Amino acid sequence: MTSLGTLVRLRAVHRRLQSLIEPLDDEAYRSQFHPDLSPLGWHLGHCTFIENYWLHERIQGDDRRTASLHDYYFPQFSPKPERGRKLPPKERLLAQVEHDSDENVLLLSGTAGTLRHDPLLENEYIEHFLIQHHGLHVETMLMALTQRALARHRGDFLAGRRLAARAPVSALRHLARGEYVVGGEAPAAFDNELPAGRVQLAAFRIARNPVTNAQYLAFIEAGGYGDARFWSDEGWQWRGARGVESPDHWRQDARGWWYGIGVDGPQDLDPDAPVMGLSHFEASAFAAWAGARLPHEHEWEVACRLNLLEGTGHVWEWCANTFFPYEGFTPFPYDEYSERWFDSRHYSLRGGSLYTRRDLRRASFRNFYEADKRHIFAGLRLAF
């Protein structure tokens, strides 16, 4: 039987998923607002499908709820551009989601039947997995809503204050060369956080805070986007092909003042808030311009564990290294969850954004995206 606290967390993420769908009209419910993002309605249906798949099909051996939906809700079988038109009507999906979510909570609580014994239920592993899986989709839905706001913006906003550039100066934390522990702990950790182990790190320095909007503006005004010296060959080619000259969420008003666009539309940029909407290419270029580098994810994790970092959980922070398996990695609960992304093209990110749920905000959590992705809520922290 699942503990009350875990059930409360599961219900909370159920409600959050539904709340993002309820106010949408049919067009917004079905639209794909970015080539890398699914329609909002698909995310809701997918989360309920995944919950039913693990609790009913995998654990109970009952596929009546899921068998006909494999080709639609398993991402590898369903091209993103086709997902919107195949969605059921919004009200029907919401009703089905509410029904299934209620039944699943009752099943886990032990008040509506008994789940078969299964290793997935040990220490509430599958419950933790589902809560975090759903939480990741909540954040992805907020990315889609931000892209919707960008597409709908008419460009008539006037910033209330002018963002002024500042030098990229931050207090530094010093860590000595040595052996440190990295990695997560069961049952909450995903397979890519395991097993925990010891790593050797050279001495390094890391900024106490992430790079801010004002500091990033200094890079723009210094011509950083137009100076190939700061960019990798691949990054320079990408920048030229895309014509990128500012973070994804930034715009300029009629006076040339910068402002940002978020889920709720245009807003002034807080000079002290972490910059976000950056690709790995942009983050690396800024670091090179500042005479610094991006941290390796192990450096970031060690500094975080030692409580040396501030501003964590405000923006995802790009790391220097590509996503890789730890020594002794074992895929769980299925091979493709992490293993398919160990491809030398995805880079690790750490920390979490303002939209990341608390269940995912831990020092060992590893996010990962390809270097050109900038619709995510990502920025950077400098290391030396």
Higher-confidence residue of 200 and 170: namely: 200
- Give per-residue pLDDT as tens, 230-255: 999 999 999 999 999 999 999 999 99
Judgement on whether residues 11 and 62 belong to the same structural domain of the protein: yes
Domain that holds residue 58: 4-152
In a domain, 69, yes or no: yes
Is-contact 80 28, C-beta < 8 A?
Answer: no
Let me know if residue 163 belongs to a domain: no
Task: Please say which residue of 87, 117, 152 terminates a domain.
Answer: 152
Residue 354 tokens read as 């303002």
Tokens of 382: 């400098």
Predicted pLDDT at 92: 98
Residues 6+ apart with CB under 8 A from 152: none
Query: Residue 227 half-sphere exposure, CB side, CA atoms within 13 Å?
Result: 13
Where on the phi/psi map is residue 51: left (φ > 0), alpha (ψ -120 to 50), or beta?
alpha
Question: Residue 336 has what pLDDT?
Answer: 86
Q: What single letter denotes the amino acid at residue 19? A: S
The answer to whether residue 167 sits within a structural domain is no
Per-residue model confidence (pLDDT) at position 343: 98
Distance from C-alpha of 326 to C-alpha of 335, rounded to nearest angstrom: 15
Same domain as 298, residue 185: yes
Rounded-to-integer distance, Cα 339 and Cα 331, Å: 7
pLDDT digits (tens, 9 = 90+) for 266-282: 999 999 999 999 999 99
Q: Residue 381 has what pLDDT?
A: 99
- Supply the pLDDT for residue 295: 99
Q: Pick from 124, 152, 180: which residue ends a domain?
A: 152
The predicted structure's pLDDT at residue 112: 67
Question: How confident is residue 71, by pLDDT bands cut at 50, 70 and 90?
Answer: very high
As a whole-number percent, the residues of the chain with pLDDT over 70 amount to 99
HEC readout, the chain: CCCHHHHHHHHHHHHHHHHHHCCCCHHHHHCCCCCCCCCHHHHHHHHHHHHHHHHHHHHCCCCCCCHHHHHHHCHHHCCHHHHCCCCCCHHHHHHHHHHHHHHHHHHHHCCCCCCCCCHHHHHHHHHHHHHHHHHHHHHHHHHHHHHHHHHHCCCCCCCCCCCCCCCCCCCEEEECCEEEEECCCCCCCCHHHCCCEEEEECCEEEECCCCEHHHHHHHHHCCHHHCHHHCCHHHHHHHHHHCCCCCCCEEECCCCCEEEEECCEEECCCCCCECCCCCHHHHHHHHHHCCCECCCHHHHHHHHHCCCCCCCCCCEEEEEEECCCCCCCCCCCCCCCCHHHCCCCEEEEECCCCCCCHHHCCCCCCEEEECCCCCCCEECCCEC
Q: Kindly state whether residues 311 and 177 are assigned to the same domain.
A: yes
Total of domains in the chain: 2
Q: What does pLDDT average to over the chain? A: 97
One domain for residues 134 and 183: no
The residue type at 313: G
In a domain, residue 77? The reply is yes
Give yes or no for a contact between 372 and 238, defined as CB atoms under 8 angstroms apart.
Answer: yes
Quick: pLDDT tens for 324-362.
999 999 999 988 899 999 999 999 999 999 999 999 999
Is the pLDDT score of 369 beyond 70? yes
And the tokens for 235? Answer: 């990054």
CATH at 276: 3.90.1580.10
Same-domain pairing of 68 and 111? yes
The pLDDT of residue 88 is 98
Do 279 and 348 lie in one domain? The reply is yes
Q: Are residues 129 and 235 in the same domain?
A: no
Question: Looking at the structure, do residues 200 and 140 belong to the same domain, yes or no?
Answer: no
Q: What is the CATH number of the domain that holds 49?
A: 1.20.120.450
Same domain, 351 and 248: yes
Residue 107: inside a domain, yes or no?
yes
Chain centroid to CA 173: 26
CA angle 16, 341, 206 (to 5 degrees): 80
Express each pLDDT in 159-177 by its tens digit.
999 999 999 988 999 999 9
Does 221 lie in the same domain as 146? no
Residue 187 CA to residue 125 CA, distance in Å, equals 5
Cβ(370)–Cβ(344) under 8 Å? no
Q: Can you give the pLDDT at residue 111?
A: 80
Mean pLDDT confidence for 51-56: 98
Q: Are residues 141 and 187 in the same domain?
A: no
- Is there a single domain that holds both residue 312 and residue 240? yes
Residue 160 resides in a domain? no
Does the residue 110 lie in any domain? yes
User: What is the pLDDT averaged over residues 63-75?
Assistant: 97
Q: Which of 152, 185, 205 is the last residue in one of the domains?
A: 152
In a domain, 165, yes or no: no
Across the range 7-14, mean pLDDT stands at 98
